[in-house]
A and B are shown apart, each in its own frame.
Chain A
């Protein structure tokens, strides 16, 4: 197995695994790997000989720059390729019932910039006047109430960092491997700091009737999107969100209000939220019967499969990238689980035969994207890179074969299999199934 570098700061203290017995096997080779690389680095470093021309003083150092960037700052003009895209090869028949994906290979850390948060709409993005918008809570309540945005801003504000993932993310992986980028394969995934009001607080305001067990969440868009939410979840940790990453929600994220159910599939986080109705049973709306249900090989379907299971993906190196030179590479990626925190991420460079533990960027937050990384010394030979996440409940990310053995290939949603990136001697990186 090609060697790994000891990631800086990875000592006994960063072992986040409760199951200590799992640690020793990888440990020795890991250190050996580090030793091998340390040797290589020493020869490379040697008495360095300078190459190339003298560094010039560029034009931008010799003249004034532009005036202050103005009303709303934009990324550098050199970053124009870092954009949301529709899935490669997909040409949506109805552009308002479509999605755009987050460029996972080109973003850093764990927070997704607002302009790059993935989109999935069923009837386009409405332009809602916040002055006219209302959130109504009614049904099995003591006092049906209508809230303006101004009303909601007077409640105690809560901010939490959570990932959001479409239930259909990675769905093309149920099928034979296509040579797509990580953006196309897994980009229905983002993570923001969300600010709003705890739904429990609002439910206190209306007074929930004892027989209420579910609530219907409805959007004000042209799909009038509806999903049934169990009351327990609503009281537990649901937020009525009006802001993301420090500014009001973007129109495509539900401006001025959306529901946020931490760890649950994207679709139920109803955008442009205008109504919550309390009732005794789920409504069986189209989006919880015809869609967002998981068809199994025996012809039955799993329904109300809300929680997104533990998952990870290497974002670099990843599909479509080309490694330009041998030697040290930085393997990096994202891990998340709808059940809780990420406890550890293992990385394999030989297609799943041997694994090493990656370093997790701290803080590791509950149901938030977690950044992992592991230095790798590429010897120029073929390699297959994989990552495998374990969450705080001990759930281990399964392989694609394990998923398919249990669910067949027709369940469309909730794919959380281990991703394999093949690195060819040419440096090209492709999606493969092992």
Chain B
């Protein structure tokens, strides 16, 4: 397999002979429940570029801030081609509107109408957007464009600004709209003969 180092044959034979000796004297069965001691210790500083998740309380939000106005400029250069003017009618997901539609026959799920936490917006944009260049925005830019998307949904005023303290305090309209899995909500029936179809 490619992931194993290739060794010259002589070295391999030597290694086999050595391991035979070792196993005769030192080989021990591994007891289950004991760590095997594999893996390399890793320090927080090494992980900084990967450890970018934001939780629902805002833990993990970086220093920095951004305004709605700055966010609009970023949106119009980096996002509008796919998400459309004002976050609507683009070729990618709709980002604004739809509030009050969830219980209707034509629900519209957007950041403003559906998402329970504003922290999710920062986390997702930072890790995955813009789609054509993910992880290219600096924290200030992510704050700004998040502020603009929230503004488009009426959740921040035109002169609004976001930072690590204010972002988790945004109350999303659908904050209480989710319940943890409560199935089974549908129970099938096992009729075998003269059943009513579809029931």
Q: Please pick, from B47, B179, B194, the residue contacting A300 in the complex, using a CB distance under 8 A.
A: B179
Contacts of B190 in A (CB 8 A): 22, 346, 388, 390, 396
Q: Chain B: interface secondary structure?
A: loop
Contacts of A226 in B (CB 8 A): 53, 123, 127
Contact call B193/A434, Cβ cutoff below 8 A:
no
Contact call A303/B179, Cβ cutoff below 8 A:
yes
A14 in contact (CB, < 8 A): no
A232 in contact (CB, < 8 A): no
- The chain A residue sitting closest to B100, CB to CB, is A299
Contacts of B115 in A (CB 8 A): 289-290
Contact call B193/A354, Cβ cutoff below 8 A:
yes
A390 to B192, CA, bound (A): 13
Taking the closest CB of chain B, its distance from the CB of A227, in whole angstroms, is: 11
- Give residues 269-328 of A contacting B (CB, 8 Å): 274-275, 277, 279, 281-286, 289-290, 293, 295, 297-307, 309-310
Taking the closest CB of chain B, its distance from the CB of A71, in whole angstroms, is: 14
A153 in contact (CB, < 8 A): yes
Contacts of A148 in B (CB 8 A): 40
- The chain B residue sitting closest to A310, CB to CB, is B188
B63 in contact (CB, < 8 A): no
Contact call A155/B3, Cβ cutoff below 8 A:
no
Check A146/B178 contact, CB under 8 A, given A353-B195, A396-B188. no
Contact call A138/B42, Cβ cutoff below 8 A:
yes
Check A304/B3 contact, CB under 8 A, given A138-B47, A346-B192. no
- Give residues 1-19 of B contacting A (CB, 8 Å): 2-4
Contacts of A405 in B (CB 8 A): 186
B20 in contact (CB, < 8 A): no
Contacts of A284 in B (CB 8 A): 55-56, 116-117, 119-120
- Give residues 332-355 of A contacting B (CB, 8 Å): 346, 351-355
Taking the closest CB of chain A, its distance from the CB of B147, in whole angstroms, is: 18
Q: Please pick, from B3, B135, B182, B188, the residue contacting A150 in the complex, using a CB distance under 8 A.
A: B3
Fill in one digit per residue for A362-392: 1 if any B CB lies within 8 Å of its CB, else 0: 0000000000000000000000000010100
Q: Please pick, from B54, B186, B198, the residue contacting A434 in the complex, using a CB distance under 8 A.
A: B198
Q: Please pick, from B109, B187, B192, the residue contacting A295 in the complex, using a CB distance under 8 A.
A: B109
Taking the closest CB of chain B, its distance from the CB of A35, in whole angstroms, is: 18
Contacts of A149 in B (CB 8 A): 3
Contacts of B135 in A (CB 8 A): 224
Check A305/B181 contact, CB under 8 A, given A138-B42, A144-B42, A146-B39. yes
- Chain B positions within 8 Å of A, measured between CB atoms, are 2-4, 33, 35-44, 47, 50-56, 91-92, 102-103, 105, 107, 109, 111, 114-117, 119-120, 123-124, 127-128, 131, 134-135, 177-195, 197-199
Taking A150-B4, A298-B103 as known contacts, 4 extra A-B pairs with beta carbons closer than 8 A to each other, sorted by chain A number, are A25-B192, A147-B39, A283-B123, A290-B114
Q: 15 A-B Cβ contacts within 8 A?
A: A123-B131, A138-B42, A144-B42, A144-B43, A145-B42, A222-B128, A281-B56, A284-B56, A300-B178, A304-B181, A352-B195, A354-B193, A390-B190, A398-B188, A434-B197
